[in-house]
Amino acid sequence: MMATKIERIDREIQKTREKIAEYQEKLKTLEAQKTEAENLEIVQMVRALRMTPEQLSAMLSGGMVPGRERCSADEQEDAAHEE
pTM listed for this prediction: 0.57
Q: In this structure, how many other beta carbons lie within 10 angstroms of the beta carbon of residue 78?
A: 11
Q: Which domain holds residue 42?
A: 2-82
pLDDT at 28: 98
| CA atoms of 31 and 25, how far apart (whole Å) | 10
pLDDT above 70: percentage of residues in the chain: 72
- Name the domain count of the chain: 1
Q: Compute φ and ψ for 51, nearest 5 degrees.
A: -100, 155
